Amino acid sequence: MEQHEARPVPIIDAGRCTGCRLCVLVCPTAALMIRGGIAAVADAQACTYTGHCERICPQQAISRPFQIMFIHREGNSVKAIFYPTWQERAVFSAGGPQPQILAENEKLKLIIGSLEVGQKIPTHPEALAVYHFLQGTGWMIVDDERYPVSPGATVITPEGAKRGVEAETRLVFLATRIA
Ligand code: SF4
């Protein structure tokens, strides 16, 4: 079962905005408008997080909330992928964990793992990795040692160590495997 929450939209500081319209003109998806003399979000679902509005605003009146940002190089340019909420990317399945890839290059792979109550990822050897728990409670097993985990916990596992995850309650975590 997929889980979706309301998508965050650009935050506009009414105290800074002068209503110059630059952000409205530059937005490629018509997500912004001028209302009452200041910028406002016209269509929250239209926002694709291009960042044009934030960059063009002379008053620094616009910011975009996000929870995960993957900044990477493509040739000579730097690109950014925004994930406004991890909830949009967490996929729960009664059939077992279905990890979703959020970022990948030759040096790392970032996935979001989602486990229903009682589900497990069996221990398996893996590369150096960082696990960060976002929701739920459970256990991280590393080379037969069991460590309790809850939201905010970060676990770093050494290269080659066998690791697994068990969910006591609905559990979501980020795992970054580093080559
Ligand atoms: S660019 Fe900045 S100052 Fe101009 S309308 Fe947009 S938010 Fe307001």
Backbone angles phi, psi at 23, to 5 degrees: -65, -35
C-alpha distances (whole Å) from 125 to each of 122, 128, 133, 142, 145 are 10, 10, 20, 9, 14
C-alpha 41/C-alpha 7 separation (Å) is 12
CA–centroid distance, residue 25 to ligand 1 (Å): 10
Domain 11-63 identical in fold to domain 67-179: no
Q: Which of 148, 142, 174 is nearest to 161 (CA)?
A: 142
pLDDT of residue 42: 93
pLDDT surpassing 70 at residue 2: no
Q: How far is CA 101 from the centre of its chain?
A: 11
Q: Ligand 1 pocket: which of 25, 33, 34, 38 to mutate (most atoms <8 Å of CB)?
A: 38
41-68: pLDDT as tens digits: 998 888 888 889 999 999 999 998 878 8
CATH 2.60.120.10 fits 67-179, yes or no: yes
Whole-number pLDDT of residue 8: 67
Which residue from 20, 24, 41 has its CB within 8 A of the most atoms of ligand 1, so it is best to mutate?
A: 20
Rounded CA-CA distance 138/115 in Å is 10
User: Which position has the token pair 């790392």?
Assistant: 108
The pTM (predicted TM-score) of the whole model is 0.76
Taking only the tens place, the pLDDT of each residue in 5-41 is 445 688 999 999 999 999 999 999 999 999 999 999 9
Spacing, Cα 10 to ligand 1 middle (Å): 12
Q: Where are the domains of the chain?
A: 11-63, 67-179
**Topology given in CATH for the domain delimited by 11-63:** Alpha-Beta Plaits (3.30.70)
Q: Give the binding-site residues of ligand 1, using a 6 Å CB cut-off.
A: 12, 17-23, 38-39, 56-57, 59, 61-62
Q: Take atom 6 of ligand 1 and give the residue whose Cα is closest.
A: 23
Residue among 27, 57, 63, 64 whose CB has most ligand 1 atoms within 8 A, to mutate: 57
Q: Distance of CA 169 to CAs 7, 114, 118, 133, 138, Å?
A: 25, 11, 7, 12, 7
Taking the centre of ligand 1 as the mean of its atom positions, its distance from the CA of residue 41, in whole angstroms, is 12
**HSE-up (13 A, CA, CB side) for residue 169:** 9
d(CA 116, CA 157) in angstroms, rounded, equals: 23
What are the DSSP calls for 103-146, one per residue?
EE-SSEEEEEEEE-TT-EEEEEE--SEEEEEEES-EEEEETTEE
Ligand 1 atom with least separation from CA of 24: 6
Question: Which atom in ligand 1 lies closest to the alpha carbon of residue 34?
Answer: 5
